[in-house]
Structure 1
Amino acid sequence: MPPTKDKRSRRRTFRQILGGVRRRARRAAGKVRRVWRRSLQLQVVTSTLVISVTVVVVLGVFLSDQINKSVINGRQSSAAQQAFADRVKIADALTQKPDDTKAADPGKTTPVDPLDEAMDTITGSGESTSKKPYEVLIFDPAKPDGSRASGSVQPENVPFSLQRDLGRQAQLGHYEPKGIRTTIAFPGSPGKLTVVIGAIILAPNGEYYEVYHFFPLTEEEAMLSNVRVAIVVVGLGLVLLLAAIAYLVTRQVVSPVRLARQAAERLAAGKLDERLKVRGEDDLARLATSFNEMAANLALKIHQLEELSQVQRQFVSDVSHELRTPLTTVRMAADLLYDAREDFDPMASRSAELMQAQLERFESMLADLLEISRYDAGAATLDLDSTDVRDVVLRAIADSEALAERHSTRFELRLPNEPCMAEIDNRRVERILRNLLFNAIEHGEGKDVVVTVGTDRDAVAVAVRDHGIGLKSGEDTMVFDRFWRADPSRARTIGGTGLGLAISREDATLHGGWLQAWGQPGDGSQFRLTLPRNAGADLKGSPLSLVPPEVEMRRTWRGHMTPVLLPAPMDGVVHED
């Protein structure tokens, strides 16, 4: 029968409650783990507490066991001596002559049973003796009904194992006292831990009697209970005292370390004037002194580097600006020579053409240096506009087509159908794409260049893939360094300045985006530009994979490929694939 709606709703509610409890438990456990990992003082105090509890428990158990054995053994030794003295009295009573009588009545003489007189003597029931704190049972195996007992002791209270051992002794003729410690429930009282000592006494007529002494350990149990309580109280107090001592000691050590950590964090955040207070001359004081010296030297070195960097940036900026005036003059003269090159001899005409090309490269390099100097000075700004990235990609490809035709390179576009809107600086993003396309053309060895555009809810991405020489391991980050070349002996074929990728990375960072590279020798390389769709948003991922899909599929296929055994060639013929 299918469950009703009420049952399903109750189950759903129960699962929701159980899920909420689990989530709260996980959050609480996570908070506890974070507090434990971050607090050295808590770790030390907890470790000290655990070790102290272990040591105190072990010592307490050992001490309690030793005291218990000492008290019980002492009581058993004393009981054995008292039982021996009583057995001597009973033996003396059994050896009395028959004429040793007492007149129970002035008119007639009645003999008194020696066992009764001995019982009165050893149990303290007489007038001249005090009652003893134990009970006695004289058992006659021949006449069980004629047994003598003190107090509320009965023959049924005798442990069976003890009675059996005495019976075996009587049969073998060996008479040694036997003792046992057990719990006995006397009539009208709860069970008590009791030491029972049994022995056999021979009578002159050849008969024997079993004498049992019952020594209750009530007082000893009470004393041992008090001792155990005292051990627990003292152990708990000792553990708390050790925990307090550990807390105070670790606080003296951890507090300066915590202050040093906080000072180091502030120093790492750029507060170079951060220093520690030095108190005393101990190791912590020397640590604070060393930290202060390190901070002072670090601040001095950083200040020197900042001054040097400032001088270098100012030098690059000044030189770049100062070169513009003579470059303009040289440019004007070069243009006149270039326009009149047809009137020159072939060598002078070629020189005019080379000078014109190198001046264009020099102007491009000068513009890149000025741009780099603006980034170094922190003066670069964005002119944001909501733009379809596909249009920017198409403009960059249009600017690169002439260069691609000269290198016999074709572009393969993979654009999505829907618009890829993002808040970007069109000029800077277009410059990034042009640099990536020029780089792909230069290193693509005339093979096709694949340009892919992807988008998701948070970001847009453009990947430029070439099938040229590729990148070696570690070069995927070095490729963005200024003036870096994978092969220093290789000349630039398109007249680049060596600053294009460095400027592109700065442009991407200014947008809050990523510019990453992947490469593999023989498989070419791929550069991926990822930008947030909304200016100022943090990137969490990219719509496109950094590794080309075909390379990733080939890796997956190789990872799942299993070897196939081919049959051996017949008749000594080698078959070729």
Structure 2
Amino acid sequence: MIRNRLGRLIRLPIGLRARLVITFTLVAVTASVLVATIGFELAKTALVERAEDTAVDVVSRELDRITFPIGRLRQGEASPTAQNLEQLGQALDGPGRSVVVEYRDLLYADGPLTMDDVPNELYGRAKQNVVTQLRVIRNELWLVVGSEVYRRAGSTAEPTGLRTFVFFPLRDEQSQLAALRGKLTQGGASIVAIALVVALLSARQVLLPVRRLSAAAQALGQGRLDTRLPVHGQDELAELTSRFNDAAAALELSVSELRALEAMSRRFVADVSHELRTPLTAMTAVADVLNDEAERLPEDTAQAVRLVLREIERLRELIEHLIEISRFDAGTATLNLEPVNVSDAVQGCLEVRGWDEDVQVSVPPGLTVNLDPRRFDIIVANLVGNALKHGRAPVLVSARGTENGLEVKVRDHGKGIPPEALPHVFDRFFKAGAGRTRSQGSGLGLSIARANAQLHGGTISVRPQSPGTLFTVWLPRA
């Protein structure tokens, strides 16, 4: 990420495709710049060398043609005149050139440049040989050729003191280099554009199997376990695709086995629950008879009878809950909606179970909502029963209509549920022990209440209070 002028963070592309394209483009740009730079420098060197060779050849040829006496004059020779220097300068002159000829006290200059424009380094080196130097003078590039004329006497050559400096303009070479620079820039831009297109196509070709793998993985996550991909080629992506297919097949087999075991478990629970109903009915009938006779039995026997009665009641509740849970697990639970007076439904739920004197109810009398009355009764009964068993009076039940549905709240004033137990209160067979009396329930009541709320399309939430615990049921309007 980078920051713009406003200090805001700008996210750079980090996708695999973007990184491939950027890397490919950077390599292409680097290669293009390198090739263009090398090509330009080679062309520049060749042009400059050609200009130097031409200029040195012109100067050397004209100096070899000098006929007037210079240097150490021999008997009968006269010193060169300004006219001689002018003739030499005119011989060296050409289109756009500037010529400076120096001989002792004589100086000839032709053109816009003078001796002041001759570099000191070049002036010193010109005493020994024909030398050249590139120099920018008045914003223009010139090739300066300097040379001292030597006079040969037999096999020896002696300096004469005559020096010439010729300024050759390099306008044509500069124009050629500018044109070459433009061509190289256009070529480099074309190469980068082609590289970008090739990078996009290559990235698409490379990432296509990756996208297919991503789509297949998403399909697996959505439950389509029969998803497989065709294997093409023998490269690393083909090997990865083959391994994905193997993993998908193994996952499908494992899930099928787990589903079969889960179905067998659900059938077992449902069958056992239904089979227990018959002996439980007989036990309940016997228990009712024993309950009637308990007062006339000895104290120890009466306590044993009451214990058996409590356990029979607990067993009956557990079996009913298991049957209800098995319906949800089997997907056979259905809703039978009808207009329900919420106040009457809550009061009826409490009266049937003998809780009407232990619970305070605050529900508007005319509040009517489309609900499944039996399942709404189960929700209220489980929440209120949980509050009475594990909480402390007063237990409050309130309901109100909202824009989106019905909201029912059940609160007790006990010590509350430990914070670490709150995320698990709706789990099956979970019982929170801290701060509560020993649970006599099945551990399924809250789970069944939530399942019935979800069947309506609603939710149940729990929050700690001070003191106590608050359960909130929300059911949408049908």
Q: Bin the TM-score by the shorter chain.
A: 0.7 to 0.9
Contact 1:468 1:525 in 2 (8 A): yes
- 1:74 aligned partner: 49
Q: Tell me which of 150, 154, 162 is aligned to 2:117.
A: 162
Per the alignment, residue 423 of structure 2 pairs with 477
Give the AA of the match of 1:47.
I
Question: Whole-Å Cα distance in 2 between the matches of residues 215 and 451 of structure 1?
Answer: 107
Change (3 A) 1:61 1:93: farther
Is 1:263 the counterpart of 2:211? The answer is: no
Which of these residues, 172, 175, 181, is aligned with residue 135 of structure 2? 181
Moved more, 275-284 or 57-66: 57-66
2:452 to 499, 507, 529: 507
CA contact (8 A) 1:459 1:531 kept: yes
Change (3 A) 1:529 1:183: farther
Please report how far the alpha carbon of residue 180 of structure 1 lies from its aligned counterpart in structure 2 after TM superposition.
Answer: 5.8
Deviations 1:96-155 (A, max 9, x none): 99x999xxxxxxxxx9922342234223xxxxxxxx555234489xx99x9663xxxx4x
Q: Does 1:136 align with 2:79?
A: no
- 1:449-507: per-residue Cα shift (whole Å, max 9, x none)? 455556543344334344434344542232111111123997645x3221101101111
1:159 CA drift (Å): 8.0
Give identity over the alignment, percent: 30
Q: 1:265 to 1:298 in 2, by over 3 A?
A: same
**Partner residue in 1 for 2:471:** 527
Q: Deviations over 1:32-51 (max 9, x none)?
A: x99x77x74x4244223441
Which stretch has the larger CA shift, 325-334 or 81-90? 81-90
Shift of 1:510: 1.0
Q: 1:507 to 1:182 in 2, by over 3 A?
A: same
Taking the aligned partners of 1:430 and 1:161, their CA distance within structure 2 comes to 113
Task: Return the alpha-carbon distance in structure 1 between the equivalents of residues 171 and 31 of structure 2.
Answer: 28
The one-character-per-residue Cα deviations of 1:336-376 (angstroms, maximum 9, x if unpaired) are 23223344333334443333333332222221111111001
The residue aligned with 1:115 is 85
Structure 1 window deviating more from structure 2 (328-337 vs 45-54): it is 45-54
Tell me, yes or no, if the aligned pair for 2:382 and 2:446 is still in contact at 8 Å: yes
Structure 2 counterpart of 1:162, one-letter code: D
**Residue 390 to residue 199, structure 1, CA distance change in 2 (3 Å):** farther
| Corresponding residue for residue 154 of structure 2 | none
**Separation of aligned partners in 1, 2:303 and 2:82:** 158
Matches within 5 A, 1:386-535: 386-387=339-340, 389=342, 392=345, 402=355, 405=358, 411=360, 422-444=369-391, 446=392, 448-449=394-395, 451=397, 453=399, 456-487=402-433, 492=438, 495-519=440-464, 524-532=468-476, 534-535=477-478
Superposed counterparts of 1:259-298, under 5 Å: 259-298=212-251
Q: Deviations over 1:221-250 (max 9, x none)?
A: 233234324433443444345445544544
Deviation at 1:289, TM superposition (A): 2.5
Match of 1:366 in 2: 319
2:459–2:473 contact (8 Å) kept in structure 1: yes
- For structure 2, the 5+ residue unaligned runs are 1-10, 150-160
Distance apart, 1:396 and its partner CA: 5.3
**CA distance in 1: counterparts of 2:252 and 2:217, whole angstroms:** 13
Question: How many Å apart are 1:513 and its aligned residue?
Answer: 1.8
- For residues 388 and 90 of structure 1, the distance between their equivalents in structure 2, rounded to whole angstroms, comes to 129
Cα distance, 1:84–1:442 mapped onto 2, change above 3 Å: farther
- Residues of 1 paired with 2:253 and 2:117: CA distance? 93
Change (3 A) 1:194 1:501: same
Offset of 1:312 from its aligned partner? 1.5
Residue 384 of structure 1 contacts residue 424 of structure 1 at CA under 8 Å; is this kept in 2? yes
Q: Provide the aligned C-alpha RMSD in A.
A: 4.7
Mark the CA change 1:528 to 1:492 in structure 2 (over 3 Å): closer, same or farther. same
* Contact 1:404 1:441 survives alignment (8 Å): no
- Alpha-carbon separation, structure 1, partners of 2:397 and 2:420: 24
- Please say if residues 440 and 449 of structure 1, whose CA atoms lie closer than 8 Å, have aligned partners that are also in contact: yes
- 2:156 alignment partner in structure 1: none
Alignment equivalent of 1:225, drawn from 174, 178, 188? 178
CA contact (8 A) 1:372 1:503 kept: yes
Q: Say if 2:32 and 2:192, in contact at 8 Å, map to a contact too.
A: no
Q: 1:531 to 1:56 in 2, by over 3 A?
A: farther
Unaligned 5+ runs, structure 1: 1-32, 102-110, 124-131, 185-190, 202-207, 536-577
The answer on whether the counterparts of 1:72 and 1:220 sit within 8 Å (CA) in structure 2 is: yes
**CA 467–352 in structure 1, closer or farther in 2 if over 3 Å, else same:** closer
From the superposition, tell whether residues 117 and 341 of structure 1 become closer, same or farther in structure 2 (CA, over 3 Å): closer
Q: Using a 3 Å threshold, how does the CA distance of structure 1 residues 112 and 497 change in structure 2: closer, same or farther?
A: closer
Contact 2:350 2:356 in 1 (8 A): no
User: Match for residue 157 of structure 2?
Assistant: none
For residue 21 of structure 2, give the secondary structure of its aligned residue in structure 1: helix
TM-score of the superposed pair, with normalisation by structure 1: 0.64
Q: Number of matched residues?
A: 453
The Cα of 1:527 is off from its aligned counterpart by: 2.6
* Cα separation, partners in 2 of 1:215 and 1:307, compared to 1, 3 Å: same
**Equivalent AA in structure 1 for residue 443 of structure 2:** G
Greater CA drift, 78-87 or 42-51? 78-87
Deviation at 1:320, TM superposition (A): 1.8
Quickly say closer, same or farther: Cα 1:358–1:161, change in 2 above 3 A: farther
TM-score in terms of structure 2 length: 0.75
Alpha-carbon distance between aligned partners in 2 of 1:418 and 1:333, rounded to the nearest angstrom: 41
Match of residue 385 from structure 1:
338
Distance 1:116 1:392 in 2: 128
Closer, same or farther: CA 400–492 of 1 in aligned 2, 3 Å = farther
Cα distance change on mapping 1:419 and 1:211 into 2, 3 Å: farther
* Residue 304 in structure 1 maps to residue 257 in structure 2: yes
C-alpha distance in 2 between matches for 1:272 and 1:467? 49
CA gap of 1:85–1:363, structure 2 versus 1, over 3 A, is same
What is the rounded CA distance, in whole Å, between the counterparts of 2:420 and 2:286 in structure 1? 45
Distance 2:372 2:116 in 1: 102
Would the alpha carbon gap of residues 361 and 148 (structure 1) be closer, same or farther in structure 2, given more than 3 Å must change?
Answer: closer
- Structure-2 separation of matches of 1:333 and 1:432: 30
Q: Do the aligned partners of 1:420 and 1:460 also contact (CA within 8 Å) in 2?
A: no
What amino acid is aligned across from residue 43 of structure 1 in structure 2? A
Amino acid at match of 1:440: A
